[in-house]
Structure 1
Amino acid sequence: MSIEVPQEDLCSIERLNHDQSAAFRCIMNTIDRRESGVFFVDGPGGAGKTFLYRAIIADLRSKGHIVLVTASSGIAATLLPGGRTAHSRFKIPINAEPSSTCNTSKQSDLAKLIRQTTAIIWDEAPMTNKETMKSLDRTLRDILENNNPFGGKVMVMGGDFRQVLPVVPKGSKSQMISASIVKSHLWAFTKILHLRQNMRSLNDRDFAEYLMRIGDGIEPTICEDLVQIEVGMAIPWEGEASLHKLIEETFPNLQSHGWDASYMVERAILTPKNHDVQQLNDIVINQFPGDERILASFDEVEGDTNNLYQQEYLNSISTGGLPPHMLKVKKSAPLMLLRNIDPKAGLCNGTRLLCRGTFQNMLDKKSFSASDKTFIRKQFPVRLSFALTINK
């Protein structure tokens, strides 16, 4: 109730386009009639999903209603007022099973809050495993003693199935689709609300249509299902020299923009694989002005009293969610946070930061398990972010 409603969000209701306005009315009419309902706002990136969410949130909160605003990722959550990750808000198990429930008792403060809640918003829902969604559904039905989907609450999900689906480690395409929320029994109760107008690409309609054809799988392909990139968008591959040309195109006059935050926030190189991210970041940081500082991690295996694992091997371990063993930084270099430290302040897994200095005594650890052993790396929970993966 203490969350302030931005005036610009209230005014945005009058600026909704046709599709947004239709979706807004459909959701608000369900709430006004005190009915239950499950909605999915479907639209490509740039279609104005966040704009619509903020209008709904502002309208409800201005009338004294409680709205729980969540997203599948920390970065998406920071774009919405009072946003939290769904796992954090509802205490959803990290690895949800077919019979999992959230770690929330019927007598808890969270349960009391849920009972008073008018609507729940969950952005980037297609990234979520269907078992995660079912865990929340099972919990809400129990807390609210209501057997309707999500305990009879109005649930507004949204996202774009053309983007990132649930991650299934080493999974096939069919396994990722099987883990998607469209394969959940809850999908049969969901009303789809389409946003078709790309608000970001109003001045380049051809490019917007090109992206949609790729996302819908109807763009003509060449051998091995490759999509032909338009000539004006591509740099011909001529070995490593092409990487340097790509860097120069993305970060022109890098030497003279050492402390320019506006310059850094507007650009990054995207690539599918962490290996390529590391390679590109290594090249760019060497070109970046200023004195470098190399921060080495301390790696160990929990309970390895006999030193069965050599330090060289432990230092060589590199996974997507782990900071590197040798972290090379310079003042004003862009970094990416690798864990949720303070979501309310915008410090989430995926937040991009500028390095203002380094201090030896501020360390954190990031752990993961391999078979029955736990690997521990003590290191600043950041990576360079001149380049980053498309999932981030």
Structure 2
Amino acid sequence: MAFAGKVVVLGGDFRHILPVIPMGSRQDIVQASINSSYLWDHCSVLNLTRNMRLASSDISEDNSEVNEFAKWLIQIGDGFAGDSTDGESEVLILDDMLINDTEDGFGELVHFVYPNIVSNLNHTDYFKERSILAPTLEVVNEVNNSIMSRLPGEQKVYLSSDSLCVEEGNMESELDTFSPDVLNAINCSGLPPHQICLKEGVPVMLLRNIDQSNGLCNGTRMQVHCLGNHVIECIILTGDQTGRVVLIPRMDMIPNNDTLPFRFRRRQFPLIVSFAMTINKAQGQTLGVVGLFLSKPVFTHGQLYVALSRVKSKKCLRVLIQNNGTMPKGSTINVVFREIFNNIF
């Protein structure tokens, strides 16, 4: 008997991003999902039909607009919002949400998400529910660096100390091959960069679980209050501990990345600048204002649905698409693995 006869409740939405399988194929990702398990035959599926995020909106919008937005999101998640080919839909973004891809299109997107950012750097509530979303970590870093360069104030640079993990299988010749410069150049998801550039007032995100009972969890958004040499003083922006002042120290972190042929240790502050975040990191969050920057199209199931559904109203969302002539203007690819829905309805 499954789960020893105990009642277990599994919550989730198959329209969201599926399990992340590094270098995995579409079939690998689908097979790793819970509804491909032998346990799925023992589950009873209960469907929730009301979008509670939109229902709790305090924005003055009539019910017809809210219902229209909710239905459009479902069509995005199901892959029926545009012309479909082999499970991928070409979606035309609504005109009232689209920022024209002009020379200053990115500046317009930043101004929509962070209006009057310089005068609001000392306001803790300003960054609480605002973010720019992008599909890849590379694009996120470019956005964060660009916004950081526009802000006044003295910038402080923190460098990491990287070293190869000495294990039984490592030969001395291999240890000499990977110099500190090679290790410093490594950037991967869940690991802070070798060089962190910060200014007082900028938003940051915590990349490790430090003290879950006090709100210091992986993904917690904070605002830099004071930059010290050995600790960084931050104010928590999200969760039950909002407004609490915390001290973040340097930590030893070993990335769990199968693509690396070796294991190394990085001692650095477990923080990353968070004007922008990846769509995957935004999953599960509710935001007040979102700018979606698609310099590259989404690349896996559910990313576009997750990005567009973080807000309570389409008035709180703007999208900047840079197709570089590869697709019709104002359109982008929505990736949906429709076979994931085969046995859940």
Tell me the TM-score range normalised by the shorter chain: 0.5 to 0.7
After superposition, where does 1:223-372 map in structure 2 within 5 Å?
Answer: 225-239=89-103, 241-303=104-166, 307-361=176-230, 362-368=249-255
Q: Deviations over 1:129-159 (max 9, x none)?
A: xxxxxxxxxxxxxxxxxxx211121101101
Shift in Å, 1:365: 1.8
Conserved 8 A contact 2:79-2:89? no
Q: Deviations over 1:103-123 (max 9, x none)?
A: xxxxxxxxxxxxxxxxxxxxx
- Rounded Cα–Cα distance in structure 2 between residues aligned with 1:284 and 1:198: 33
Candidates 144, 161, 184, aligned match of 2:37: 184
Amino acid at match of 1:380: F
| Structure 1 partner of 2:69 | 207
Matched-pair identity in %? 37
Amino acid at match of 1:377: R
| Structure 1 partner of 2:274 | 385
- Rounded Cα–Cα distance in structure 2 between residues aligned with 1:222 and 1:192: 27
Q: Deviations over 1:10-34 (max 9, x none)?
A: xxxxxxxxxxxxxxxxxxxxxxxxx
Report the secondary structure of 1:349's partner residue. Answer: coil
Conserved 8 A contact 2:161-2:267? yes
- Rounded Cα–Cα distance in structure 2 between residues aligned with 1:371 and 1:246: 36
Higher relative contact order (CA 8 A, sep 6+): 2
Shift in Å, 1:201: 2.2
Conserved 8 A contact 1:269-1:388? yes
Shift in Å, 1:189: 1.0
Shift in Å, 1:366: 1.6
- Rounded Cα–Cα distance in structure 2 between residues aligned with 1:371 and 1:215: 34
TM-score when scaled to structure 1?
A: 0.59
- Which consecutive aligned stretches of 4+ in structure 1 deviate over 4 angstroms post-superposition? 369-372
Amino acid at match of 1:227: V
More helix by share: 1
For these two proteins, the number of residue pairs brought into alignment is: 244
Q: Deviations over 1:18-68 (max 9, x none)?
A: xxxxxxxxxxxxxxxxxxxxxxxxxxxxxxxxxxxxxxxxxxxxxxxxxxx
| Structure 1 partner of 2:288 | none
| Structure 1 partner of 2:50 | 197
Shift in Å, 1:178: 0.5
| Structure 1 partner of 2:8 | 155
TM-score when scaled to structure 2?
A: 0.67
Shift in Å, 1:386: 0.5
Shift in Å, 1:280: 0.3
Report the secondary structure of 1:150's partner residue. Answer: helix
Report the secondary structure of 2:198's partner residue. Answer: strand
Conserved 8 A contact 1:337-1:349? yes
Conserved 8 A contact 2:118-2:151? yes
Shift in Å, 1:164: 1.4
| Structure 1 partner of 2:320 | none
Amino acid at match of 1:216: D
Shift in Å, 1:384: 0.6
- Rounded Cα–Cα distance in structure 2 between residues aligned with 1:197 and 1:169: 33
Shift in Å, 1:371: 5.5
Unaligned regions of 5+ residues in structure 1, if any? 1-147
- Rounded Cα–Cα distance in structure 1 between residues aligned with 2:106 and 2:195: 22
Q: 1:222 to 1:193 in 2, by over 3 A?
A: closer
Unaligned regions of 5+ residues in structure 2, if any? 56-60, 231-248, 282-345
